[in-house]
Amino acid sequence: MGSILEVRDVSHRFGGLQVLKGVSFDVAPGSITGLIGPNGAGKSTLFNIISGFLTPSVGDIVFLGQTTTDRGIAARSRAGLQRTFQTPQVFRDLTVRENLVAGCHMRGRTGVLEAFFGLPNVRREMADARRRADEIIERFDLGPWREIPAGELPAGRQRMVELARAVMCEPKLLCLDEPSSGLSTTEVQTLMETLERLNADGMTVLLVSHDMKLMEVTSMVHALCFGEIIASGSLHAMRESPRVREAYLGT
Ligand SMILES: Nc1ncnc2c1ncn2[C@@H]1O[C@H](COP(=O)(O)OP(=O)(O)OP(=O)(O)O)[C@@H](O)[C@H]1O
Ligand SMILES: [Mg+2]
């Protein structure tokens, strides 16, 4: 089978600042693929381009064999691509459970009018969503906080809510930007186990992180430096790579 995601010769500039230069790589279906690189390398910019928050100056994003460069965020989400943010984005005033139910709304086939009039299939869909939310809440150890507004939770827990909400949409490809920042050592361990379990269940993951412990879940890593891929391989190979060491240490 081909790639689930192809980044094809993507370049991007903000005004006069060239942030990405001819970036190309593939994400194999069923993999946990990592993207590493020093601060300002362009990782989040690339994520914004992959998820449709930015249109690249040059190049294409191909998702499931279809060029999606010009498709919007919602269309990509419906096609099975979800992302989380470097700063966790939750609905602060909604409870943990409501956050998850809101997250899966886009999956539903119910129209706006049906939802407004509360027709039976709406009620069924909502009940399904709540049941799924409860399952995922248990999987993510969020049970004790189910009825708490997400904005009142510590940053690490908000991150888990954001991740759980993305998982509610049953993405084929889940893109995570620094998911372990703000997490304790135990929470990182839980995150790693969760990602491995999701992956075993068939979810492909693209992971951006500075956290080399977390990166141990990856099977393939691409190193980005000043907007260019400078090395690709296993995490072990990246650790040994003189180019990667030089990029990080500046020596
Ligand atoms: N909206 C923007 N306008 C102008 N410059 C930007 C914008 N967003 C990012 N940049 C610049 O683009 C470069 C790459 O930023 P980006 O956030 O993609 O890096 P990163 O690899 O995610 O870094 P970090 O590891 O710190 O998260 C940086 O020099 C940054 O200042
Ligand atoms: Mg970033």
Q: Is a pLDDT exceeding 60 seen at residue 111? A: no
Q: What are the beta bridge partners of residue 226?
A: none
- Which tens digits make up the pLDDT trace of 152-175? 999 889 999 999 999 998 999 999
Is the CB of residue 56 below 6 angstroms from any atom belonging to ligand 1?
no
For residue 17, give the ligand nearest its CA.
1
Q: Give residue for tokens 């075993």.
A: 200
**Could you tell which of 44, 50, 215 is best to mutate to test the pocket of ligand 1, judged by most ligand atoms within 8 Å of the CB?**
44
Rounded Cα–Cα distance for residues 218 and 36 (Å): 11
> What pLDDT is attached to residue 251?
53
Which one, of 51, 44, 70, lies nearest residue 59 by Cα? 70
**Could you tell which of 11, 13, 45 is best to mutate to test the pocket of ligand 1, judged by most ligand atoms within 8 Å of the CB?**
45
Residues 178 and 157 in one domain: no
Contact between 115 and 122 (Cβ < 8 Å): yes
Which amino acid residue places its CA nearest to atom 5 of ligand 1? 14
Q: Name the average pLDDT for the chain.
A: 90
- Which tens digits make up the pLDDT trace of 178-222? 999 888 898 899 899 999 999 999 999 999 998 999 999 999 999
- DSSP annotation of 91 reads -
Residues 94 and 53 in one domain: no
Residues 111 and 218 in one domain: no
What letter represents residue 250's amino acid? G
Is the CB of residue 14 below 6 angstroms from any atom belonging to ligand 1?
yes
- Which tens digits make up the pLDDT trace of 39-64? 999 999 999 999 999 999 999 999 99
Which one, of 8, 133, 15, lies nearest residue 67 by Cα? 8
What range defines the domain where residue 97 resides? Answer: 90-169
- 85 domain residue, yes or no: no
Tell how far the Cα of 49 is from the centroid of ligand 2, in angstroms.
13
